[in-house]
């Protein structure tokens, strides 16, 4: 084959070269199918990108920053290290939550004993709760993640909240939990389990960071309770050498090495349909190959979120009524972030705080008590801009500490994500984000200066992004929703993106989803993995792939072991 453009047909077409679409593409190509992936932008991986938007040499990780890729079976199955991925972190302390009184709740990244000893200095009762939870949950965490993140959802919202669900299991571990634990919100459950208000606040804030909104019930509520256990086992607070885009690059290299074809600059305009079966794709007239029609012999996987897939690529007029209803009911109203990205002329120093904070990877700030979590719930429910801001989406100061290649010599990078709504009714609508972007950025600066004035004094450049900016950069991140749509409450599990869809399968022949499905599309690569698994099963290529065998957490444990760190699965 001498031409560089797409062939007329492939076994499988993947629409959208985000990290989950690429994960699906890699697995299916490696399983012997011919796969083409069409990406709208000139670079793949819109949600996991690194760009020099400030000045040369300052690598800005615009979206995914807290890389969770070491959890993923894909790390081993797809040999991502061989294709250039090197995971780095800045400290054994992954996360912390500072308070204005110069205390902090810290979260260790791999040593449960150090976590326990640290919490004992804050609250002996809560330290014992952590120990009990860790000893009960750590040995089974790989299996639990396989079930939660790397298998098709089997539970809907009702089962997640039901008395026989995970909450019941927790009552077995923590017998003091109230009988109605399964009915409690995250806030109520954390208050029932832990006694110290700073620990409670830090846990609930980290729940928000993970997408487990503390005002939800069921499994969302439980995630805040078990956050320190997850933090130790998840190897989450990592960057990659060269920036987050290295994850995308490793996937692209893997895909190409196995013969897959990635076409960038190729927005897909619509599906080719025959009745209710998807037969292929038509590229946009602005694509590098304008209006090219490419056929899919066996499957099409959409890595676009719910609305762009069903309303955009299929078209509202072709949707049966129940599907139309489900798609329109789907909400993109969780996980909107406002970013401040800073370049510093000296490394961060947390004067007056424990010294471990100076090199810790990430932190949240601006939430002093559980009341601030309640303020967040009120603000977001009413589309109000939190003032002062609530930085619960994560801040990172560890990029250039872990990987000096991410900033020019003598400079350091840091960022923060404040939780905000997309709609701004009080300001006149979401388009007003352009007018208030810098002033809201100033509010975040002023807030951080209350915790760390020296850090703000060392700022030499700043770059802010609003949810509207994110939406413009990637229409699949509709309204800037970082998790491709809401995931809690009525869109939990099998109900995501709508009840009866069967995601990653859909009501349309040959069409699968690897986005807006359960689990939410993060750098765990879970959504891409689940889509690959179900497509491979349906196409009869899953069996006999000896390389497709890794378990969640395995890679993280192995990478740490090579660095001389052994994760203990129990605290004596
Ligand atoms: C501000 C922000 C912060 C985040 N932080 C984290 C984090 O710390 N950790 C984490 O794990 N995750 C984080 N995420 C989520 C992150 O986006 C995901 O982890 C991941 O990158 C999503 O990958 P994906 O493949 O599922 O979707 P996407 O990256 O959205 O992939 C969809 C792809 O489709 C392309 N596309 C869109 N329309 C078309 C079209 N018509 N035709 C062809 N291609 C099209 C897009 O350009 C994009 O490349 C964050 C997201 C945002 C926005």
Q: What is the dihedral of CA 174, 178, 180, 184, to 10 degrees?
A: -80
Closest ligand 1 atom to Cα of 515? 26
Edge to edge, the sheet with strand 412-419 lists 104-108, 93-98, 362-365, 391-396, 412-419, 337-344, 459-465
Residue nearest to atom 29 of ligand 1 (CA): 47
> CB-based contacts of 186: which residues, under 8 Å, 6+ apart?
204, 207, 212, 213, 214, 215, 216, 217, 220, 221, 222, 223, 224, 225
Atom of ligand 1 minimally distant from the CA of 38? 43
* The CATH homologous superfamily of the domain defined by 9-85+241-332+476-554: FAD/NAD(P)-binding domain (3.50.50.60)
Residues with CB under 6 Å of ligand 1 are 15-21, 38-41, 44-48, 63-66, 68, 267-268, 303-304, 308, 337, 470, 474-477, 482, 515, 521-523, 527
22, 44, 47, 246: which to mutate for ligand 1, most atoms within 8 A of CB?
47
Can you tell me whether residue 365 is helix, strand or coil?
strand
In angstroms, the Cα distances linking 203 to 49, 96, 198, 225, 345 are: 28, 10, 8, 7, 32
Question: How many whole angstroms separate alpha carbon 313 and alpha carbon 428?
Answer: 31
Mutate to test the pocket of ligand 1, among 15, 16, 234 (most ligand atoms within 8 A of CB): 16
Atom in ligand 1 nearest the alpha carbon of residue 465: 1
8 Å CB contact between 364 and 97: yes
CA distance 83 to 242: 13
Residue 155, pLDDT score: 87
Looking at ligand 1, which residue's alpha carbon is closest to its atom 35? 16
Distance (Å, rounded) from C-alpha 433 to C-alpha 430? Answer: 6
Domain edges within the chain = 9-85+241-332+476-554, 106-239+340-473
The atom number, within ligand 1, closest to the CA of 476 reads 37
CA of 59 to the centre of ligand 1 (A): 18
How many A from CA of 320 to the centre of ligand 1? 28
pLDDT for residue 182: 79
Residue 165, φ and ψ in degrees, nearest 5:
-80, -160
Q: What is the pLDDT of residue 350?
A: 98
47 C-alpha to ligand 1 centroid (Å)? 3
* Pocket test residue of 248, 522, 526 for ligand 1, highest count of atoms within 8 A of CB: 522
Run means of pLDDT, 10 residues per run, the chain, 572 residues: 82 98 98 98 97 94 95 96 97 97 96 97 97 95 93 85 67 84 89 96 94 85 87 84 98 98 98 98 98 98 98 97 97 94 98 98 97 97 97 96 97 98 96 98 98 98 98 96 88 93 98 96 96 98 98 92 94 94
Q: Three-class SS string for 412-432? A: EEEEEEEECCCCCCCCCCHHH
Confidence at residue 161, expressed as pLDDT on a 0 to 100 scale: 61
DSSP 341: E
| pLDDT score at 2 | 47
pTM of the model: 0.97
Over the stretch 207-233, which tens digit does the pLDDT of each residue have? Answer: 999 888 999 887 778 888 888 898 888
Would residue 387 be called left, alpha or beta, if left means φ above 0 and alpha means ψ between -120 and 50 degrees?
A: beta
């Amino acid at each position: 084959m001498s031409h560089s453009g797409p062939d007329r047909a492939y076994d499988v077409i993947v629409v959208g070269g985000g990290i989950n679409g690429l994960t699906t593409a890699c697995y299916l190509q490696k399983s012997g199918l011919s796969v083409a992936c069409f990406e709208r932008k000139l670079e793949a991986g819109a949600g996991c990108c690194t760009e020099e938007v400030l000045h040369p040499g300052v690598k800005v990780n615009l979206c995914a920053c807290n890389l969770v890729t070491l959890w993923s079976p894909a790390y081993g199955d797809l040999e991502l290290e061989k294709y250039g991925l090197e995971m780095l972190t800045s400290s054994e302390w992954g996360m912390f939550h500072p308070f204005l009184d110069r205390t902090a709740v810290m979260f260790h990244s791999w040593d449960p004993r150090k976590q326990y000893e640290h919490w004992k200095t804050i609250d002996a009762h809560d330290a014992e709760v952590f120990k009990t939870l860790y000893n009960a949950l750590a040995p089974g965490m790989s299996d639990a993640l396989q079930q939660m993140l790397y298998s098709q959802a089997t539970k809907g919202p009702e089962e997640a909240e039901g008395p026989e669900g995970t909450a019941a299991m927790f009552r077995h571990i923590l017998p003091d939990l109230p009988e109605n634990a399964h009915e409690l919100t995250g806030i109520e459950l954390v208050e029932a389990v832990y006694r110290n208000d700073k620990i409670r606040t830090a846990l609930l804030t980290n729940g928000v960071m993970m997408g487990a909104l503390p005002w939800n019930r069921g499994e969302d509520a439980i995630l805040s309770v078990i956050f320190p256990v997850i933090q130790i086992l998840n190897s989450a607070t990592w960057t990659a050498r060269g920036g987050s885009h290295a994850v995308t690059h490793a996937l692209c290299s893997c895909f190409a090495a196995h013969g897959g074809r990635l076409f960038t600059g190729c927005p897909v305009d619509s599906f080719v349909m025959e009745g209710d079966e998807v037969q292929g794709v038509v590229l946009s007239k602005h694509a590098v190959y304008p209006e090219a029609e490419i056929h899919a012999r066996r499957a099409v996987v959409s890595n676009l979120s719910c609305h762009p897939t069903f309303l955009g690529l299929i078209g509202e007029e072709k949707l049966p009524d129940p599907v139309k209803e489900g798609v329109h009911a789907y909400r993109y109203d969780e996980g909107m972030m406002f970013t401040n990205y800073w370049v510093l002329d000296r490394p961060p120093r947390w004067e007056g705080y424990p010294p471990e904070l100076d090199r810790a990877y990430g932190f949240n700030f601006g939430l002093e008590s559980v009341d601030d979590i309640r303020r967040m719930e009120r603000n977001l429910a009413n589309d109000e801009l939190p003032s002062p801001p609530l930085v619960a989406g994560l801040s990172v100061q560890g990029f250039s500490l872990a990987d000096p290649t991410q900033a020019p010599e003598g400079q350091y990078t840091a960022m923060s994500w404040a939780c905000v709504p997309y709609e701004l009714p009080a300001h006149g609508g979401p388009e007003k984000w352009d007018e208030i972007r810098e002033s809201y950025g100033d509010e975040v600066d002023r807030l951080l200066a209350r915790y760390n004035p020296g850090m703000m004094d060392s700022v030499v450049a700043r770059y802010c992004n609003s949810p509207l900016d994110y939406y413009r950069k990637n229409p699949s991140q509709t309204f800037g929703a970082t998790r491709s749509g809401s995931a809690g409450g009525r869109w939990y599990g099998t109900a995501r993106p709508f009840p009866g869809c069967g995601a990653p399968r859909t009501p349309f022949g040959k069409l699968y989803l690897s986005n807006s499905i359960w689990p939410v599309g993060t750098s765990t690569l879970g959504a891409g993995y689940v889509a690959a698994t179900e497509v491979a099963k349906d196409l009869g290529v899953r069996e006999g792939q000896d390389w497709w065998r890794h378990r969640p957490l395995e890679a993280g444990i192995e990478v740490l072991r090579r660095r001389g760190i052994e994760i203990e699965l129990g605290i004596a």
